[in-house]
């Protein structure tokens, strides 16, 4: 029996009760063929090039976890029409030192979440721009999850059939994308 592909999940919000995290869990449940595992970003020190030679333990651990994963999934709210600073900092930490980025070549997917209708469009595409540079081939399928607070019940479980159907399709597309990109990487 083959091992399921491992997916490092980055949740953009640091709130305990984050709706982005709930959404990541819902996607996980609906995509049983992938092994999701959240990598925490809230404990990462702000990136500072002066510390590159003496990286903090948190940076080292974070980089190792991303490096070990087959793929990366970002589920994030939008802060001020872009990604949260904490998420961008995690991106920066993983990208350094120069030439040793742990993001390089990993298949990725981006889901943005918002309480209102716009669905985090600004965060979604800012993140994609960074991922182009980092050579993370991102699934084209767009996932803008609007009105997010209304989608979950009191137990924090997804309680919206339309969203469940969407996430099921999305998880399949992501799974296929992972295979496509990893096959390409293997052929290179």
Q: Name the site residues for a copy of itself (rule: CB under 8 A).
A: 13-16, 42, 44, 46-50, 79-93, 95, 117-119, 121-122, 125-126, 128-138, 140-142, 144, 146, 176-177, 179-181, 183-184, 187-188
CB of 155 to a copy of itself, least distance (A): 20
Angle between helices 161-187 and 19-29 (to 10 degrees): 70
Pick between residue 29 and residue 40 the one whose CB is nearest to a copy of itself. 40
Of the two residues 60 and 132, which places its CB atom closer to a copy of itself in the complex? 132
Tokens 């080292």 found at: 60
Nearer CB in complex with a copy of itself: 64/183 = 183
Shorter beta-carbon distance to a copy of itself: residue 60 or 85: 85
Q: Please give the Cα distance from 158 to 155 (Å, whole number).
A: 9
107 alpha-carbon distance from chain centroid: 11
Least CB distance from residue 38 to a copy of itself, whole Å? 16
How many CB atoms lie under 10 A from the CB of residue 107?
A: 24
Determine the Cα–Cα distance for residues 188 and 145; give it in Å rounded to an integer. Answer: 35
């Amino acid at each position: 029996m083959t091992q399921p592909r491992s997916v490092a999940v980055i949740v953009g919000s640091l709130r305990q009760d984050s709706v982005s995290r709930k959404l990541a869990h819902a996607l996980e449940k609906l995509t049983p063929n992938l092994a999701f595992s959240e990598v925490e970003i809230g404990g990462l020190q702000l990136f500072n090039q002066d510390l590159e030679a003496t990286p903090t333990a948190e940076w080292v651990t974070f980089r190792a976890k991303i490096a070990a994963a087959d793929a990366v999934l970002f589920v994030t709210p939008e802060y001020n029409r872009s990604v949260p600073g904490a998420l961008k900092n995690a991106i920066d930490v993983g990208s350094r030192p120069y030439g040793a980025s742990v993001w390089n070549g990993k298949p990725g997917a981006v889901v943005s979440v918002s309480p209102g209708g716009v669905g985090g469009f600004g965060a979604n595409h800012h993140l994609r721009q960074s991922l182009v540079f980092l050579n993370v081939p991102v699934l084209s399928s767009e996932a803008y999850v609007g009105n997010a607070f209304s989608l979950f019940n009191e137990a924090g479980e997804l309680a919206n059939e339309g969203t469940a159907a969407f996430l099921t399709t999305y998880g399949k597309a992501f799974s296929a994308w992972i295979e496509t990109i990893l096959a390409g990487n293997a052929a290179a």
